[in-house]
A and B are shown apart, each in its own frame.
Chain A
Amino acid sequence: MSKFSTIVGVDVGGTFTDLAFFDEATRQFSTAKVPSNRGDEAVGFIEGLKSLGPLASLGSIVHGTTVGTNALLERKGARIGIITTPGFRDALEMRRRDRPNTWGLWGDFTPIATREFRLEVPERTLADGTIRQAVDVDAVRSACLELLAKGAEALAIVFINSYANPANERAAYDAAKAIWPNPHIAHSAQILPEFREFERTSTVALNAYLQPVVASYLGKLEQGLKAEAFPGAFHIVQSNGGIMSTALARKFPVRTALSGPAAGVIAAAAIAKAAGYPDIITADLGGTSFDVSVVANGEAALAAQTTIDFGLVVRTPMIEITTIGAGGGSIAHVDASGFLAVGPESAGSRPGPVAYAQGSMRPTLTDANIVLGRINADKPIGGKLKRLDVEAARQAILDQIGQPLGLSAEAAAEAIIRVANAKMAGAIRLVSVERGYDPAKFTAVPFGGGGALHVGALLAEVGLKSALVPRYPGITSALGCIIADARHDQVSTLNLMLDGLDGAALSSRMAVAGREAHAVVEGSGLTVERIDVLYQLDMHYQGQTHTVAVPLAVQSVGDVSERSVRAAFELAYAKAFSRLLPGIPVRIVNLRTAAVGRRPAFDMAALAPGSSANIGKAFVGRRNVWFDGGWHDAGIWDRLALPVGAVVKGPAILEQGDATTVLDPGLAAGVDRFGNLIVERI
């Protein structure tokens, strides 16, 4: 126990690097926040760790990273080459024949591998797996040399129909690997043996694009850790919310695309579950966007695919996070027809809101919160600015929103907040009501800096049961790194008819896939209590192209039969749509297999307020805060000083270093035994 008794979660964000430290032996929990070093994140990373004590005494480190995300968004990946089937060189660039916007025909697209970096070699596999033409490995070798001569740093091999039979692709991979000078090489069936050539090509190409970037980043981190004599294990959070070894992260960097946000959802789910709230909707309000994710019965929902930007599709399982363009920096404006809109245009953190006095004159959601006294102008979050310019924010809101609508500055600020709240409520409705969940059974879990400012409105607008504000909303992602399970997902396309299904054959395919996934988690070097293998089939009525996810609750894979699969399908289909279609044949499209290595449970009591917490000391004073058309005298509280069991009634503002919780009149917040605030209607 001695050596591996401490664990640190590290979340590197754009501005700050957050760290969460837990000592399993002493049950001591602490946090740290250091500035991120944009461009050389490794520096901030090591500095942050050192602030927690000598690295030589740390047990393990788990990292949520945005290096992959940023490289994708900023188009700063490696120069890659693609080798493909004759006639399909342009698949990556042709996409699915879409365009960026429904309305308006402008906008173009530059693929991550331009045409001269995409070469074809003689080969062809048919849809049923027949090899029509064996791959010409000499052509593969010359293509490799041509790409290397052009400066390619990574290679992706994608052959049509390789999901049905990867033999040609593997032969090409073997030939290429023998001469490719670095480990940045992959073939598509290794990463995504699922049909749909554009999505597969895009995923595999983006993986190659990230390989050198992520490998170099991890190399720097590992070097830094070694220099500080760190003796333990180092792991990475994936977009699916599970953690993996750095060796796998080097091989599958595309799986880190949503690493940081996924860790946040995992932490929110674990915190809420421990507190007795298994059904939650996470709400992360950042500077430019509002991210929501639904967690039902303690399990985060996974999406099969996401689009990073127009034409950049990543198809690997990832925690489903719905993003809308409404953040603290969203700009409010009144259009020519007198219509009030908030966002999607954002002032971001630079120039930021008017009150930041960094040159912007356009009022934002944050300005509205400042003008109404909800955000403390004398203690800005993050600690970079000394104070906020309330007067400038008020004037901008009055001039640009109040005047055209005939409202006072305060009424206009409240209007901005109401419109923004409605957009956030819409996003929550999208993941709850629209997916068949009853919001009255769900609890909102705001994290990040801004979510808790709007918690009351979200309860009222969507009819959520309650809200739970974690004790440290600003470091939720770092905490998630400590909590997350180990996980490995894989998929294979089956294309089997359900009628006359050979249950034994399917069982043995599942067993093989299960063993493979199990072995990956087992080999990751993480301490886990046990490994669960989960199976899901993508199924539909023959003729449909979209599928429904059908979880198979199997104790042993031998239980699978035509009958049990049909029953599971009909249950899932009926849940998704109002009508079953008896008489139409059913098809099994894909098998999805996940191995989950359950980590030792993190004891949330470590986060609880200490015995020195005292409600008297927590009371800071009173100030005027605007609610429902008028100023209210609101209590101001030091949130972290509140003891377990304390109850604060609205109107009130609860402040802490990295977040502000606003309690509207009619709401009360109690501190539970883990230090969470539970917000409910009185």
Chain B
Amino acid sequence: MTTLDPVTFSILTGRLEQIADEMDATLYRSAFNPIIAEARDACHGLYHAETGATLVQGAKGLPIFVGAMAFAVKAVIDKVAEHGGAEEGDTFIFNDPYAGGTHLNDFRLVRPLMRQGKIFAWLASVGHWLDIGGNVPGGYNPQATESFQEGVLIPPVKLFRKGVLQQDIVDILQANTRVPRSNWGDLNGQLNALDLGERRFHALIDDYGDAVVTAALDAASKRAEALMRQEITALPDGVYSFEDYLDNDGIVDERLTISLDLTIAGDAMTLDFSRSSPPCKGPVNIARSTAVACCYVALKHMFTGVPANAGVLNPITFNIPGTTFLGVTAPRPVAGYTETILRMIGVIFGALAKADPARATAAPFGTINALSIAGHRANGERWVMFSFFGGGLGGNPQSDGLNHANNPISTATIPPAEVIEASYPVMFTQWALRPDSAGAGEHRGGLGAIYEIEVLSPGGADVSLLGERGRFAPFGVNGGTSAALNRFRWQSEEGWQEPPMASKITGVKLKQGQCLRLETPGGGGWGDPAERTPDAISRDEAQGFVAMASAAERDDSKGMQTRLSTSTDHPAGFPSLRSGRE
């Protein structure tokens, strides 16, 4: 056993993280699709040779992947164990969401880091590819009932054998997507990142020696565990329960419940989700690995000082049985996994708010609103605009929630409207904050947004949306109120339409000149609204963040600059959409 002095440990920790960061940056810069390049829907790291546990992860990697990657690497380790070892120069590829995946769009590349003929650790890269077949361009099919309708599933297979690219595999991948060029570009970007990581890790291990680096990795895991136990110990022992709901699964219009019993006992925590709804027909199921990964994300947001590696999970016991929609197996559809894990994260925040009111954080907006608009250009070429949209974060002890932010599961930035308009025949008539969308409180939630898009292409466009929070609003804490609901509408000959399943719809046809309008939730409020300072209230009023819509109804001539393009045929008014859940 090599002894490791604290100074070398501190230095090595920084150097290892820097390599993972550099892998992230390489893929962001060379990726083709904006979901990786702009939205950073990707992650890289170094994983344990035998267990696949996360050893080192890039600081900018998509948070949800930080938790999920360990399961993905384990899937490759199992495959290798069954089918004869991995060799120098091998690289595995797969997207199986039930074996450590998330959903089919997320392609994982896993490569052994070989030292003296033995696997020292695994390098892995994951990135969200734009399209992998299935019924709906972009993969977010809100009406899928089996994963076969969501796209092609690739189990762990060797993309490279001893350094030789297996063109057959590439051909299969290319034949099963609407955007082969984009996927090929992203695949190369991920390979760029792995190549770089392999070079850098080898150089570092050459510098310090295999034994010292192994000892540092081991110490990092123990350190993460110790810090996590310390955080848990600081919470009062007890059982804290919380629940929240999904609108429906897109197929059956019934709410789905996520129930959590969170137990603190000394330095250990149990997250028991066993009282949650059973597996559902539509695509909001998740695999157990995804559920565990999202618990990790929630805890990391609450305990920000704990480093990102698998040691964090050692003090935690999970109860996520297969009898719930949070622990399903193939072929239950999972494309809408983001909505489920966002709600799970909110539920963990809610339970922890009870355990530790001083650090309570209200619910963030809680839906990604995966919107696809597709059509054909005059020359027959197909175009698919696909994006996720922002909303407000929850009020917190420090301040109001942030207006128009990304979701806790990602660090995604939104592409600029000008980049979207330059790429697709659409025009934004609104790209605005949404007044009255935040929960009230001493610290109110952040505001959601209004995106209104007009179709410019003469052939019209097909639209689909997979969203949530259309029926159950983001909750407030410590006396703060709930935020506004998510709302989606589109124009037709008969006026504005809304989806029967709230925020999930596919097959909407828009003609040239018609608009769709997405209004996203804000965050929940923190603390009693009566405690809000007069100063903060008057600031909100001066800026039109509250009571804007009702003022508009009273007097349409005043201060309505923001709504110049808001057509008069919108459903009258903006009634209070708050759904109290206290």
Binding site for B on A (CB under 8 A): 86-91, 93-109, 114-116, 119-122, 124, 126-127, 132, 143, 160-161, 163-164, 195-199, 335-341, 405, 415, 418-419, 422-423, 426, 429-430, 434, 495, 541, 543-546, 576-579, 581, 584
- A340 adjacent to B7 (CB under 8 Å): yes
A418 cross-chain contacts in B, Cβ below 8 A: 7, 11
B564 cross-chain contacts in A, Cβ below 8 A: 86-87, 120, 122
Q: Given that A104-B301, A434-B22 are contacting pairs, would A335 and B227 also be in contact in the complex, using a CB cutoff of 8 Å?
A: yes
Q: CA separation between A126 and B399, bound complex, in Å? A: 38
Q: Mark B94-126, 1 if CB is under 8 A from A, else 0.
A: 000000000000000000000000000000000
Q: Given that A106-B399, A422-B15 are contacting pairs, would A415 and B431 also be in contact in the complex, using a CB cutoff of 8 Å?
A: no
B15 cross-chain contacts in A, Cβ below 8 A: 422, 426
Q: CA separation between A122 and B418, bound complex, in Å? A: 18
Nearest CB of B to A557, in Å? 26
Contact among B18, B305, B418 with A196 in the assembled complex (CB-CB below 8 Å) = B418
- B433 adjacent to A419 (CB under 8 Å): no
Q: A99-B393, A107-B402, A108-B401 are in contact. List 14 more A-B contacts (CB 8 A).
A: A91-B417, A94-B432, A99-B411, A103-B301, A105-B396, A107-B399, A143-B561, A340-B7, A422-B10, A434-B25, A543-B182, A545-B34, A546-B28, A546-B30
Q: CA separation between A115 and B561, bound complex, in Å? A: 11
A104 cross-chain contacts in B, Cβ below 8 A: 301, 304
In the complex, the 9 A-B pairs of residues with the closest C-beta atoms, listed nearest first: A97-B390, A115-B543, A422-B11, A96-B413, A127-B421, A86-B564, A97-B414, A104-B304, A94-B404
B544 cross-chain contacts in A, Cβ below 8 A: 115-116
27 contacts between A and B (CB under 8 A): A87-B428, A87-B452, A90-B404, A90-B432, A90-B449, A94-B433, A97-B405, A97-B412, A99-B411, A100-B402, A105-B364, A105-B396, A105-B401, A106-B396, A106-B397, A120-B561, A124-B427, A127-B422, A160-B417, A197-B416, A197-B417, A338-B223, A415-B6, A426-B15, A544-B32, A577-B192, A579-B192
Contact among A96, A108, A121, A578 with B196 in the assembled complex (CB-CB below 8 Å) = A578
Q: Given that A336-B230, A337-B226 are contacting pairs, would A116 and B543 also be in contact in the complex, using a CB cutoff of 8 Å?
A: yes
Contacting residues of chain B (376-413) with chain A, CB-CB under 8 angstroms = 389-390, 393-394, 396-406, 408, 411-413
- A339 adjacent to B10 (CB under 8 Å): yes
Q: CA separation between A102 and B304, bound complex, in Å? A: 9
B432 cross-chain contacts in A, Cβ below 8 A: 87-90, 94
Q: CA separation between A448 and B516, bound complex, in Å? A: 56
- B418 adjacent to A195 (CB under 8 Å): yes
B304 cross-chain contacts in A, Cβ below 8 A: 101, 103-104
Q: Which of B230, B405, B428 has the most CB of A within 10 A?
A: B405
Closest chain B residue to A419 by CB distance? B10
Q: Given that A195-B419, A340-B6, A541-B185 are contacting pairs, would A102 and B63 also be in contact in the complex, using a CB cutoff of 8 Å?
A: yes
Closest chain B residue to A196 by CB distance? B416
Closest chain A residue to B11 by CB distance? A422
Contact among B18, B361, B422, B562 with A429 in the assembled complex (CB-CB below 8 Å) = B18
Q: CA separation between A491 and B227, bound complex, in Å? A: 49
Closest chain A residue to B540 by CB distance? A115
B390 cross-chain contacts in A, Cβ below 8 A: 94, 97
Nearest CB of B to A500, in Å? 15
Q: Mark B522-552, 1 if CB is under 8 A from A, else 0.
A: 0000000000000000010011110000000
Q: CA separation between A93 and B434, bound complex, in Å? A: 12
A545 cross-chain contacts in B, Cβ below 8 A: 34, 37-38, 415, 419
Q: CA separation between A550 and B390, bound complex, in Å? A: 34
Nearest CB of A to B495, in Å? 21
B38 cross-chain contacts in A, Cβ below 8 A: 545
Is B60 among interface residues, defined by CB-CB distance under 8 A? yes
Nearest CB of B to A435, in Å? 10
Q: Given that A339-B9, A546-B28 are contacting pairs, would A96 and B414 also be in contact in the complex, using a CB cutoff of 8 Å?
A: yes
Contact among B6, B404, B408 with A339 in the assembled complex (CB-CB below 8 Å) = B6
Q: CA separation between A546 and B419, bound complex, in Å? A: 12
Q: CA separation between A102 and B417, bound complex, in Å? A: 24
Nearest CB of A to B10, in Å? 5
What total of A-B pairs shows CB separation below 8 Å? 227
Contacting residues of chain B (146-166) with chain A, CB-CB under 8 angstroms = none
Closest chain B residue to A423 by CB distance? B14
- B404 adjacent to A95 (CB under 8 Å): yes
Contact among B29, B416, B428 with A195 in the assembled complex (CB-CB below 8 Å) = B416
Q: CA separation between A99 and B402, bound complex, in Å? A: 8
B418 cross-chain contacts in A, Cβ below 8 A: 127, 160-161, 163, 195-197
A97 cross-chain contacts in B, Cβ below 8 A: 389-390, 404-406, 412-414
Closest chain A residue to B308 by CB distance? A103
Is B178 among interface residues, defined by CB-CB distance under 8 A? no
Q: CA separation between A545 and B29, bound complex, in Å? A: 8
A198 cross-chain contacts in B, Cβ below 8 A: 416
Q: Given that A102-B411, A544-B37, A577-B192 are contacting pairs, would A419 and B301 also be in contact in the complex, using a CB cutoff of 8 Å?
A: no
Binding site for A on B (CB under 8 A): 6-7, 9-11, 13-15, 18, 22, 25-26, 28-34, 37-38, 59-60, 63, 181-182, 184-185, 188-189, 191-192, 195-196, 222-223, 226-227, 230, 300-301, 304-305, 361, 364, 389-390, 393-394, 396-406, 408, 411-419, 421-422, 427-433, 446, 449, 452, 456, 539, 542-545, 561-562, 564-565
- B31 adjacent to A544 (CB under 8 Å): yes
Closest chain A residue to B411 by CB distance? A102
B191 cross-chain contacts in A, Cβ below 8 A: 578-579
B403 cross-chain contacts in A, Cβ below 8 A: 93-94, 108-109
Contact among B188, B398, B449, B542 with A94 in the assembled complex (CB-CB below 8 Å) = B449
A109 cross-chain contacts in B, Cβ below 8 A: 402-403
Closest chain B residue to A310 by CB distance? B402
A99 cross-chain contacts in B, Cβ below 8 A: 393, 402, 405-406, 411
- B227 adjacent to A337 (CB under 8 Å): yes
Nearest CB of A to B467, in Å? 15
Closest chain A residue to B32 by CB distance? A543
Nearest CB of B to A652, in Å? 25
Q: CA separation between A101 and B308, bound complex, in Å? A: 14
B400 cross-chain contacts in A, Cβ below 8 A: 108
- B6 adjacent to A338 (CB under 8 Å): yes
Closest chain A residue to B130 by CB distance? A543
- B398 adjacent to A107 (CB under 8 Å): yes
Nearest CB of A to B471, in Å? 23
Q: Given that A126-B421, A339-B10 are contacting pairs, would A105 and B184 also be in contact in the complex, using a CB cutoff of 8 Å?
A: no
Q: CA separation between A680 and B398, bound complex, in Å? A: 51
Nearest CB of B to A150, in Å? 10
Q: CA separation between A58 and B6, bound complex, in Å? A: 57
B449 cross-chain contacts in A, Cβ below 8 A: 90, 94
- A337 adjacent to B417 (CB under 8 Å): no
A199 cross-chain contacts in B, Cβ below 8 A: 416
Nearest CB of A to B212, in Å? 14
Q: Given that A106-B361, A422-B14 are contacting pairs, would A336 and B416 also be in contact in the complex, using a CB cutoff of 8 Å?
A: no
Closest chain A residue to B564 by CB distance? A86
Q: CA separation between A415 and B196, bound complex, in Å? A: 30
Q: CA separation between A241 and B411, bound complex, in Å? A: 33
Closest chain B residue to A580 by CB distance? B188
- A340 adjacent to B565 (CB under 8 Å): no
Contact among A91, A415, A429 with B7 in the assembled complex (CB-CB below 8 Å) = A415
Closest chain A residue to B8 by CB distance? A418
Closest chain A residue to B560 by CB distance? A120
Closest chain A residue to B9 by CB distance? A339
Closest chain B residue to A407 by CB distance? B6
Q: Which of B15, B26, B402 has the most CB of A within 10 A?
A: B402
Q: Given that A94-B390, A195-B422 are contacting pairs, would A102 and B59 also be in contact in the complex, using a CB cutoff of 8 Å?
A: yes
Nearest CB of B to A189, in Å? 13
A95 cross-chain contacts in B, Cβ below 8 A: 404
Closest chain A residue to B60 by CB distance? A102
A546 cross-chain contacts in B, Cβ below 8 A: 28-31, 37
B456 cross-chain contacts in A, Cβ below 8 A: 126
B182 cross-chain contacts in A, Cβ below 8 A: 543
A579 cross-chain contacts in B, Cβ below 8 A: 188, 191-192
